[in-house]
Amino acid sequence: MHSFLSKISFLCLILAGGLILSGCGGDGTPSYTPQDQAATAGTPAADTRPVSTAKLKISKPANEEVLNTTRADIFFQTQDFDLTGGNAIMVSVDDQPARKHSVRNAPFVITGLAEGGHTVIAYLVGPDDMTVNSPDAKVTVHFYIKRKDFQNFLGASEASVAINQPRGTYSGARADNIMLDFKVTNPPAGYMIRYSIGGTTKTISSDGSYSLGNLAAGSYTLTLEVLDAQGNIAPGSYSKAQTSFVVDRGTTNPGPAPSGNFQTAPTMPQTPTVPQ
């Protein structure tokens, strides 16, 4: 326990260097808002996704590699998963909303990266835009531009979460059963997931696909946090995520989706077209 608290204290000290870590309290321990987990447990929707053997890997850049330019070409490898028929890789850079990559034999190109550390989180989705039901369908890599520092740092044992759905605008039949779909990596033992939307907070017991139900027209921001077994927010820069979306019922203009608290996204041009 002493060793664990020492590590947390060390991470909190990084705040002085400009890195904001979720869950660092003033006494060096993770801070959190107490929740009645039993009373607020979410109800899982029927998960119709078939169990998959699909695997995703990042072949370049190598983890902890230092790149000498402000451009990063992310090369993926898949197993038991072809980028055809609507299958795709969703790619999030430095906790930004994920973007779709579906061009075989071509990298996901990121330009205009600032010097320092960067983290890519990627996961597989099917033609229905839902995550693939495989424990190996998500991967992360941390690399540096020109110099090493702790910016956007994701330790090998730190928890991270990536929200796949909801995002964008939901209308018609899609608006009647909006799904929360996400992936968690390296969660602590006995972990829970807490999500908040529209003034309601609930906890659920694992990643996967869950129904948010029939929401009224409007703009929403959903916040999701990885908790340990005691209800503390798991330490790390990526144990908390947000997504913004719009429900359009066709009667009034719901307005644009709120911006959330995302950072400014790096420039991500279209991936060059490569013959299939």
State the average pLDDT over residues 191-197: 93
The answer to whether 71 touches 214, Cβ cutoff 8 Å, is: no
> What is the dihedral sign for C-alpha 211, 215, 219, 221?
negative
Quote the CA–CA distance of 63 and 138 in Å, as a whole number.
15
Identical fold, 2-44+158-248 and 55-145: yes
Fold category of 55-145 in CATH: Immunoglobulin-like (2.60.40)
Q: How many CB atoms lie within 10 A of CB 178?
A: 20
Quote the CA–CA distance of 81 and 65 in Å, as a whole number.
27
Between 195 and 258, the higher pLDDT residue:
195
Tokens 């964008």 -> residue: 168
The answer to whether 95 touches 15, Cβ cutoff 8 Å, is: no
For 217, counting Cβ atoms within 10 Å of its Cβ (0-12 exposed, 13-18 middle, 19+ buried), the class is: middle
Phi, psi of 173 (to 5 degrees): -65, -30
Which residues neighbour 178 within 8 Å (Cβ) at sequence distance 6 or greater?
165, 166, 170, 211, 212, 213, 215, 245, 247
Structure-token pair, residue 93: 């850079």
State the average pLDDT over residues 14-27: 34
Structure-token pair, residue 193: 């997931």
Quote the CA–CA distance of 276 and 191 in Å, as a whole number.
41
Q: How many CB atoms lie within 10 A of CB 251?
A: 7
Structure-token pair, residue 26: 């003033």
Q: What would be the CATH architecture of the domain defined by 2-44+158-248?
A: Sandwich (2.60)
What's the pLDDT band for 56 if we cut at 50, 70, 90?
Answer: very high
For 105-140, write each residue's pLDDT tens digit.
899 999 999 999 999 999 999 999 999 999 899 999
The answer to whether 74 touches 108, Cβ cutoff 8 Å, is: yes
pLDDT of residue 209: 85
Indicate whether this model's pTM tops 0.75. Answer: no
The answer to whether 267 touches 72, Cβ cutoff 8 Å, is: no
Which residues neighbour 80 within 8 Å (Cβ) at sequence distance 6 or greater?
52, 53, 54, 55
Q: Where are the domains of the chain?
A: 2-44+158-248, 55-145
